[in-house]
Structure 1
């Protein structure tokens, strides 16, 4: 707790000293040429690194320091407007009138540089989901991620949309970091993004940005493949109340209902607050997965038969036991902002979620039951300084593995246990139930400034994290409610951007991160940016690291079948399995963003990645004798004779390109087309690449799990009252392997986990329905504003109600049809 006390003292010191520069609040309106307000227009103070958005009436407020200020205003469908003014007591009001044209240069905040910046000037490849896109989409705003270049988006059922970036997807993917309002939003033990467990509702989501590629210098070792950064609405900018209701059905005719509300008020110049809430209830797409069990001997006899000769028969598929398709989300939150002086804010936030749904995993599906997330966050912001401390808790008592519970149920039946007992606690006997009572402490301080006549931009900070995982003895190597597994890490970063003149800027950044288990790592980043009149060219190098999660290090699943590898293993033949270490990713990237003429906007990038010490999926080793210095019988509750764990291996290169083109037909109508290519290579003669130890290096060692090609095209319309879009997505078919999961075309002569790879046939552990992707789908949404107080919207996902296989251990994605009513007051 010393670090927490340090930051609280730091808050007090900065708060007491105040801000020495004279500050003013600039106010004004943003309209089109006819005087119509442009709500959500981005207002950016280019030389002071602060930004804001216009409210529903087109009114903006931004606090700046005195002196020369460069204001830049952008809005989708309109050309950018820039103005330089000298701010003093006589000049604090500036209005903007934008002309039609291409202006997709939004202001992004705390993504590429951890400061407000124009999208074209960001040193990272960022795709942005604007406030207007979120406002006008009547469905789950996560669907808008599918409309962006470079993102592998998939739906693992109604409740679990997710994304991946640049390959190596799995059913348990922790390589993409989620950040909400500057806080890391992932589960403590597994490192998985909160995703459906998120505490934020749609109506309080202002903007989202997705960074393609590593951004570990600023966000730490979990920002490996990519990052999604979500910013919620400031109650001073977005005031008033909103009540939204969704009713709908999925393609199976099952109901979907959601009620959400937000209220925000600026009570005075010093105090503002907001409260949010959500209740959503639905039923998952109809789908029952097969659990493959060897219940009989070669003659078909059950263990209860006196002549039973052992479990060496053929595995058969059984339906998931006691599958519950109900989905329920409950969310609540509150934020209060105290402003002692203009430009200085103290922000306190509490948010809560309680979630029940089905979640795909590497070994089937988990039944998520009443999983509760609580977030307590305190932030301090002023012109050049930001600091925060936040506490995240995670709790569930009844979540379980459907696959393992199903196997335990039939094992109990075969042993002669009565059905009512076999389906009760006996079905959890092998560790099917997952409990969690974990928490995480985070603290951060950051300083930003421009020096040498604004020629050098400086961002420097320090971050601290303490993970305290507790599974109450269910899935980690802890023993009881008081036995926390604690892992701490601290990192410091610096980010310099030097204006060299003639439109050239040089980027240099670095991070030093110290992990309690994996030691110290140095993470650099560098780049050159060339600004043209209507665009920016960038060439960058960045490094990312992926630190194994607490589950990777200290997991204890299913009675010790899967064990974490923080200490290594010794096998009976003397072979030593080394402990896991960090995976390293080096990325080289070139990109351009800008306009061609007045109506065409282009965003293109190409990348090359080198992955070393790749973190493997779970893999099995025979005859373990020790985990570290501990005899295996003291760790494994069930003597399996093998152990499944995680290791580092090999080296693989990935490369690709992403292209997005938008053509503005008129200020209200545009067409956007996206295309992405991705591929990989490796050294077939390097024995360290032979992950599955079959004596041959091939694709089954590197489970890349990504399509080579994908693309989309969208027609978007946004008028004063009518708005909508038609979106078509194409994903090339691709083979997918993730631990127990298989989705592949028939590959003659090849096996996976000991079973021939045959499409439309059982695998060793799951049914192989064939490759993922291989489809083109159509989404549609339409809305109408009857007045400022009331609007009606329709969202249709998978308009043609096709059976789209987007993920394993998940139902085919069928249609989802939602009607949304929105009341503002």
Structure 2
């Protein structure tokens, strides 16, 4: 018969000081529990007949289990001993509870202590202090997380789950950071697995996976709020105010029903992107290079060559094309029902987000009024879960800044007319480029004038990319996954799990991004997996084996196995040595498969077999081309681009040397899934309050997904070793060609390797100190010039933190410093070396225990030296802030 037992007590440390926010749960049921208040006190009522035990944990302390409780208790005292970060219990590495210390793979943790103590403005920015992690800043409101290289802002190799839901864009397939994610008030903890995780989490968990877990309203009740504000400073933008506010309300109406809601809003001014360096030659500016192509200048990509002289149109700076407003409004709510008041729980979750931001892929995109929503239904208990969710997006008023500039230019003078005027004036003036440009620019729309604003508004509201620049996107993603853990049945024999998932994409861009002119494009993926985990040798040795099979309807299936061995050595079992081998894979993205987008520099094209004929464009031929073919226009399909084109490098050599024998026919293959095999060796050790971690890995890739630029003549048959009589060679001479960027796999041998070292602990008694070093290196066949790396991470990174959570009564502080080596940034936007940089952040905080509140003030990039971590983004200045968080338990 079920009874009701109430346990009241206090959680303290060895010095008899209270441990606030300690977790108290019923042993064997992680869903039944509570959290201690700021003074360490707690009350827990359990609908279960004694005897039972409680599990008590807090970050930085060793987890303990109480003696058997046989009746209600009024004054239970629970003492926790000082521990390390390695004693934290996580779920992600094995889909089952285990200490970080014994995890079979590398794992990082970011919890309430880290959120409170981060010197960054918000918790998501604070992730950049985790060892091995890259956080690339694209916007004030949009940041991209990655590990182990091979990531850009369009990072499709890294997965982010919020309460089990993939928060990637259905159409773009990459995470939107925390742009429409979770309120800081509702974050329970964050777990991060660097490296391949496909064996348990499927396709695209390739470079790593980030788990953000929210607070359960049964355990975290009440109303909490935060408000912070301050200024951003940047040389280009000046000093601008920003503010960030949020409210969380949660209540358990009974032991069966609970609910919560979250609302948060941030508004500020984005980092201005004003890099006018010439992509062709940074030593030359517009005045000295007629073919100037500025990094953050758009429309000047339109270029032509006449008699060996290359000239580009006059472009518009990015700041003429965007407002640099940045805002994000997020709402989430969930209903939780425990029909039998035990660990079985039924959950509905809804998340809505709207805002304005800048993001970057092949071009820079300004996104006013974008909208995203997710809805999930989940049933779970301690042994299983099954969840289904849908993600839907709406691009709002998003537009492509490069295409906008190009079509604003075209709205007052066509490319043909502009270049005709330029070269005619150039010939008449005896080579005066300044006069030629001034003549061709006669009538140019000037930013700030009514004429420019009229043309601009017309272009950014027009979804036809031949005349406008607006994105339309209402794509959706549907996902179902399930897992069952048989450990309650198998007992001490082994922990055995099985699970699976199904995902369907529904692409709907109305022909603006994908080739879905005639209706939505849909396709699906399915996967199943199993894992067995066994403890041996007095539970010192842990052996884990798992395997997953995934199948996309567009490709053959893939197996992803993982095998690991971990051993706890030493008399006190304070040394853990682990080794693993695992494989991962990722399916080509929706863009790799079905994109058909003119990004000005090239036509970006997906290479799914069905897309070759869906991608089709009409081109007007030159006068010479019309005379040669008898037609004024040519229709080019994706199949032409794949089967009848030259390599870009050979076409460039041909143009420079006027030697058609240099031309090489391209041999681009249809894109297919990419695979990786990962070898990893790691060590974790605990030394009198210090923890030491070291790990190394080696990644071996197969069929690495990349893209290749080819030159497609509008007529003739492309072959290698051409001569001047070939119609396709004449097409190149007549500028009757276009460049296509086609998704494919490289034949180059691609590998990468690296290591991570980290030390954390106490110094000078009560001061927290941590330092870590990351080494990352790519190893590939450099003779393959068609391979686009996108490794995009420094070879060396060092990060350090120093602080004290209780320097004196209720007062704490924390500081961090990050140093990044220089590195080469390479993606679809462009290639450039990123200079090394050092960034220092700091914060102070004061706790008002009676109000359960914390006042916090801080600054990021204290030195004020602006830096950037990707080509094309705004330089990052400093932020100064002060805020208060109220009743955030």
TM-score (norm: length of structure 2)? 0.78
User: Which among 449, 468, 471 is matched to residue 434 of structure 1?
Assistant: 471
User: Do the aligned residues in 2 keep the contact of 1:372 with 1:395 (CA within 8 Å)?
Assistant: yes
Cα distance between partner residues in 2 of 1:625 and 1:721: 76
Matched, 1:663 2:774: no
- 1:143 Cα deviation after fit: 2.1
Cα distance between partner residues in 2 of 1:318 and 1:471: 27
Cα distance between partner residues in 2 of 1:624 and 1:112: 53
Secondary structure in structure 1 of the residue aligned to 2:131: coil
User: Do the aligned residues in 1 keep the contact of 2:24 with 2:36 (CA within 8 Å)?
Assistant: no
User: Do the aligned residues in 2 keep the contact of 1:29 with 1:54 (CA within 8 Å)?
Assistant: no
- 1:83 Cα deviation after fit: 3.1
User: Which among 585, 598, 623 is matched to residue 545 of structure 1?
Assistant: 585
Q: Residue deviations 1:507-542, cap 9 Å, x none? A: 100111111112311111111011242242211111
Secondary structure in structure 1 of the residue aligned to 2:377: strand
- 1:72 Cα deviation after fit: 5.3
Distance 1:331 1:702, change over 3 A: closer
Q: Which residue of 1 aligns with 2:870?
A: 807
Distance 1:612 1:62, change over 3 A: farther
- 1:71 Cα deviation after fit: 6.0
Q: Which structure 2 residues correspond to residues 128-207 of structure 1 after superposition, within 5 A? A: 128-137=109-118, 139-207=121-189
Q: Which residue of 2 aligns with 1:76?
A: 59
Distance 1:468 1:381, change over 3 A: same
TM-score (norm: length of structure 1)? 0.83
- 1:461 Cα deviation after fit: 0.8
Secondary structure in structure 1 of the residue aligned to 2:411: helix
- 1:336 Cα deviation after fit: 1.3
Matched, 1:611 2:701: yes
Secondary structure in structure 2 of the residue aligned to 1:813: coil
Q: Residue deviations 1:713-771, cap 9 Å, x none? A: 11121126112201011111112221232222xxxxxxxxxxxxxxxxxxxxxxxxxx2
Matched, 1:690 2:726: no
Cα distance between partner residues in 2 of 1:209 and 1:467: 27
- 1:289 Cα deviation after fit: 4.8
Distance 1:549 1:291, change over 3 A: farther
Q: Which residue of 2 aligns with 1:561?
A: 603
Q: Which residue of 2 aligns with 1:765?
A: none
Secondary structure in structure 1 of the residue aligned to 2:311: coil
Distance 1:434 1:45, change over 3 A: same
Matched, 1:583 2:674: yes
Q: Which structure 2 residues correspond to residues 280-359 of structure 1 after superposition, within 5 A? A: 280-290=266-276, 312-314=310-312, 318-320=316-318, 321-341=320-340, 342-359=342-359
Q: Which residue of 1 aligns with 2:525?
A: 489
Q: Residue deviations 1:669-712, cap 9 Å, x none? A: 2100111111132346xxxx7252xxxxxxx7534222111111
Secondary structure in structure 2 of the residue aligned to 1:158: coil
Q: Which residue of 2 aligns with 1:425?
A: 458
Secondary structure in structure 1 of the residue aligned to 2:405: helix
Matched, 1:652 2:651: no
User: Do the aligned residues in 2 keep the contact of 1:367 with 1:402 (CA within 8 Å)?
Assistant: yes
Matched, 1:227 2:209: yes
* Farther-moved stretch of structure 1 (134-143 vs 466-475): 134-143
Distance 1:645 1:42, change over 3 A: farther
Q: Which structure 2 residues correspond to residues 453-602 of structure 1 after superposition, within 5 A? A: 453-479=491-517, 483-502=519-538, 503-532=540-569, 533-558=573-598, 561-567=603-609, 569=639, 570-572=642-644, 577-596=668-687, 598-602=688-692
Q: Which residue of 1 aligns with 2:232?
A: 250
Distance 1:512 1:593, change over 3 A: same
User: Do the aligned residues in 2 keep the contact of 1:30 with 1:54 (CA within 8 Å)?
Assistant: no
User: Which among 779, 784, 797 is matched to residue 846 of structure 2?
Assistant: 784
Secondary structure in structure 1 of the residue aligned to 2:404: helix
Cα distance between partner residues in 2 of 1:585 and 1:23: 53
Cα distance between partner residues in 2 of 1:21 and 1:644: 66
Matched, 1:798 2:861: yes
* Farther-moved stretch of structure 1 (257-266 vs 719-728): 719-728
Secondary structure in structure 2 of the residue aligned to 1:646: strand
Q: Looking at CA atoms only, which structure, 1 or 2, has the larger radius of gyration?
A: 2
Write 1 or 2 for the structure with the bigger share of helix: 2
Q: Which residue of 2 aligns with 1:723?
A: 812
Q: Which residue of 2 aligns with 1:749?
A: none
User: Do the aligned residues in 1 keep the contact of 2:374 with 2:391 (CA within 8 Å)?
Assistant: yes
User: Which among 681, 693, 713 is matched to residue 779 of structure 2?
Assistant: 681
Secondary structure in structure 1 of the residue aligned to 2:475: strand
Cα distance between partner residues in 1 of 2:360 and 2:410: 23
Q: Which residue of 2 aligns with 1:405?
A: 404
Cα distance between partner residues in 2 of 1:70 and 1:615: 52
Secondary structure in structure 2 of the residue aligned to 1:254: strand
Q: Residue deviations 1:401-454, cap 9 Å, x none? A: 112211221232334796455323346543622111111211122111325432
Cα distance between partner residues in 2 of 1:424 and 1:812: 27
Cα distance between partner residues in 2 of 1:443 and 1:542: 24
User: Do the aligned residues in 1 keep the contact of 2:171 with 2:507 (CA within 8 Å)?
Assistant: yes
User: Do the aligned residues in 2 keep the contact of 1:547 with 1:582 (CA within 8 Å)?
Assistant: yes
- 1:170 Cα deviation after fit: 2.3
Cα distance between partner residues in 1 of 2:251 and 2:839: 41
- 1:89 Cα deviation after fit: 7.3
Distance 1:240 1:44, change over 3 A: closer
* Farther-moved stretch of structure 1 (31-40 vs 598-607): 31-40
* Farther-moved stretch of structure 1 (557-566 vs 515-524): 557-566
Write 1 or 2 for the structure with the bigger share of strand: 1
User: Do the aligned residues in 2 keep the contact of 1:507 with 1:528 (CA within 8 Å)?
Assistant: yes
Q: Which residue of 1 aligns with 2:738?
A: 641
Q: Which residue of 1 aligns with 2:621?
A: none
User: Do the aligned residues in 1 keep the contact of 2:162 with 2:181 (CA within 8 Å)?
Assistant: no
- 1:162 Cα deviation after fit: 2.0
Secondary structure in structure 1 of the residue aligned to 2:396: strand
Cα distance between partner residues in 1 of 2:708 and 2:20: 49
- 1:577 Cα deviation after fit: 2.6
Distance 1:539 1:293, change over 3 A: closer
User: Do the aligned residues in 2 keep the contact of 1:70 with 1:82 (CA within 8 Å)?
Assistant: no
User: Do the aligned residues in 2 keep the contact of 1:777 with 1:799 (CA within 8 Å)?
Assistant: yes
Distance 1:122 1:95, change over 3 A: farther
- 1:64 Cα deviation after fit: 11
User: Do the aligned residues in 1 keep the contact of 2:141 with 2:179 (CA within 8 Å)?
Assistant: no
Q: Which residue of 1 aligns with 2:425?
A: none
User: Do the aligned residues in 2 keep the contact of 1:378 with 1:388 (CA within 8 Å)?
Assistant: yes
User: Do the aligned residues in 2 keep the contact of 1:42 with 1:107 (CA within 8 Å)?
Assistant: no
Q: How many pairs align?
A: 747
Q: Residue deviations 1:314-372, cap 9 Å, x none? A: 56553124221111111111111111221111111111100201123232x21012111
Secondary structure in structure 1 of the residue aligned to 2:171: coil
- 1:153 Cα deviation after fit: 2.3
* Farther-moved stretch of structure 1 (671-680 vs 569-578): 569-578
Cα distance between partner residues in 2 of 1:250 and 1:93: 50
Q: Residue deviations 1:141-175, cap 9 Å, x none? A: 11221111111223223222222211122242211
| Gapped regions of structure 1 (runs ≥ 5) | 1-19, 627-637, 693-699, 745-770
User: Do the aligned residues in 1 keep the contact of 2:226 with 2:886 (CA within 8 Å)?
Assistant: yes
Distance 1:514 1:299, change over 3 A: closer
Distance 1:660 1:51, change over 3 A: farther
- 1:35 Cα deviation after fit: 4.8
